[in-house]
């Protein structure tokens, strides 16, 4: 362990959480950095940093406190989260997390799965995507550092989450989008008081430029300089799913991947649940869903090779990261757990969006459509068994991305009389019957 001051002791900034985080660690070379330092990459080898915990202490505290007197939000298992300042924790994320786990019998029947569940983060708060989890952790860390400006580079949902949660925390937000930005999400950021800039480049080019800008300006970036803390928020999804299943881990999870934060940290969260004695999770397989037009992780998994950068060519903009920062962590997670991957085409993705809507009444964005299309393909290939328990992650809300959906025209300016409308109703019924078969 490093020589850092014990972050669990009471300090000048007030009461501390029961976080059992101990230090920042480089998984590549093992270099340790004090938890209260502002480092985000290893000073020894340049790789990204992760958070280590005192798991014996976490296990004892969880057993001592029990589960009844805990908040129903992302802070439910604060022992396994990295924020030590109680005041910082209380200013963000109080309404994020604890999203529904929906049994999807009608969708499951369509794709051949008897025990299919949907983790519906499209209802997350405040901005209707899983990014409320990770950004909540990043903004809490920003407050812990005593700073009031935050930036991010975003394919969509990170930007809205940063704008909203920064506003709640009283911080100024600067959002940088790549050239294929989704205008609706940018407008939402402006409505939330953030400054927005569209860059002339794809996400990977924008990410490189923002990294340089952050180091030059000293402004923390939620998913760059705050990334070790940001990433830990994704574990909360794993904690919730297993608890919602009565502490029985699923056989499979199907998770959309862009930079790879969610799937790699769900893997970590599953491991931690077993370490602290809450559930047996070693048997859960993690499967990756990526759009065929940008699938560096899925390609490496299916071909058994190494990660290779791709140039994104997909309408699933929130997944369009050709050089995923946590890609190698995802490969390790999937291969360790014996999972697989699929990369459906854009037409398959939009068909899956429609199928999800028609069977379960959920409107998802292309990332969620990618998950459903990948789940169907993996079931068809026999990589997921018909009787196995499967949780597919719906990571974002389709109301944000309606402009991306293929047009489906409807009758307009139809005569307002019963005879004409009755004929139209007959056509509607025939179309509905054909869609079901």
Sheet bearing 149-153, strands edge to edge: 195-198, 172-177, 149-153, 220-221
Sorting pLDDT into bands at 50, 70 and 90, what band is 177?
Answer: very high
The whole-model pTM stands at 0.94
Instruction: Collapse the DSSP code of 114 into the 3-class scheme (helix H, G, I; strand E, B; otherwise coil) and give the result.
Output: coil
CATH of domain 101-128+234-404: 3.40.50.1100
Q: Tell me the C-alpha distance between 90 and 349, whole Å.
A: 38
Name the E strands within 335-421.
Answer: 341-342, 389-394
Q: What is the DSSP string of 185-208?
A: HHHHHHHTT-EEEE-SS-HHHHHH
CA distance 278 to 282: 12
Instruction: Say what the pLDDT of residue 436 is.
Output: 62
pLDDT tens digit string along 36-82? 888 899 999 999 999 999 999 999 999 999 999 999 999 999 999 99
**How far is it, in rounded angstroms, from Cα 103 to Cα 193?**
37
Fold of the domain spanning 131-233: Rossmann fold (3.40.50)
Q: How many Cα atoms occupy the beta-carbon half-sphere of 164 within 13 Å?
A: 26
Q: What is the mean pLDDT of residues 121-147?
A: 97
* Ranges for all domains in the chain classified under CATH 3.40.50.1100: 101-128+234-404, 131-233
For residues 315 and 345, the answer to whether their CB atoms sit within 8 Å is no
Per-residue pLDDT of 111-122, as tens digits, reads 999 999 999 999
- Reference 29, options 13, 46, 12; nearest CA is 46
Which secondary-structure segment (H or E) carries 33?
strand 32-34
| Rounded Cα–Cα distance for residues 409 and 388 (Å) | 39
């Amino acid at each position: 362990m490093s020589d850092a001051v014990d972050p669990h002791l009471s300090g000048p900034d007030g009461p501390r959480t029961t976080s059992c985080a101990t230090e920042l660690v480089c998984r590549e070379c093992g270099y340790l950095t004090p938890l209260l330092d502002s480092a985000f990459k290893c000073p020894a080898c340049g790789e990204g940093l992760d958070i280590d915990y005192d798991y014996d202490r976490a296990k004892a505290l969880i057993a001592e406190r029990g589960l009844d007197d805990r908040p129903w939000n992302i802070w439910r298992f604060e022992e396994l989260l990295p924020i030590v300042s109680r005041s910082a924790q209380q200013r963000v994320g109080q309404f994020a997390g604890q999203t529904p786990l929906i049994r999807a019998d009608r969708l499951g029947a369509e794709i051949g799965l008897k025990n299919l569940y949907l983790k519906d983060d499209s209802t997350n708060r405040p901005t209707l995507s899983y990014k409320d989890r990770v950004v909540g952790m990043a903004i809490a860390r920003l407050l812990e550092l005593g700073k009031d400006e935050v930036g991010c580079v975003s394919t969509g949902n990170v930007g809205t989450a940063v704008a909203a949660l920064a506003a709640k925390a009283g911080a100024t937000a600067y959002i940088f989008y790549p050239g294929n930005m989704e205008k609706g999400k940018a407008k939402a950021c402006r409505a939330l008081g953030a400054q927005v800039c569209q860059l002339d480049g794809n996400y990977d080019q924008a990410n490189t430029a923002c990294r340089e800008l952050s180091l030059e300006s000293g402004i923390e970036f939620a998913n760059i300089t705050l990334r070790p803390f940001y990433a830990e928020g994704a574990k909360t999804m794993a904690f919730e799913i297993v608890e919602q299943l009565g502490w029985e881990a699923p056989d499979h999870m199907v998770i959309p991947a862009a930079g790879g934060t969610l799937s790699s940290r769900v893997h970590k969260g599953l491991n931690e649940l077993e370490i602290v004695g809450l559930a047996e999770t070693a048997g859960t397989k993690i499967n990756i869903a990526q759009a065929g037009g940008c699938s560096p992780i899925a390609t490496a998994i299916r071909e058994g090779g190494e990660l290779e950068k791709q140039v994104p060519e997909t309408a699933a903009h929130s997944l369009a990261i050709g050089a995923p920062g946590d890609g190698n962590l995802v490969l390790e997670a999937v291969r360790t757990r014996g999972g697989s991957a699929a990369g459906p085409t854009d037409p398959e993705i939009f068909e899956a969006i429609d199928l999800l809507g028609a069977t379960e009444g959920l409107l998802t964005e292309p990332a969620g459509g990618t998950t459903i299309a990948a789940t169907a393909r993996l079931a068809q290939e026999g990589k997921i068994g018909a009787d196995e328990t499967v949780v597919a992650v719906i990571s974002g809300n389709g109301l944000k991305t309606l402009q991306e959906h293929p047009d489906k025209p409807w009758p307009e300016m139809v005569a307002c009389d019963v005879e004409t409308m009755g004929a139209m109703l007959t056509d509607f019924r025939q179309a509905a019957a054909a869609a079901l078969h």
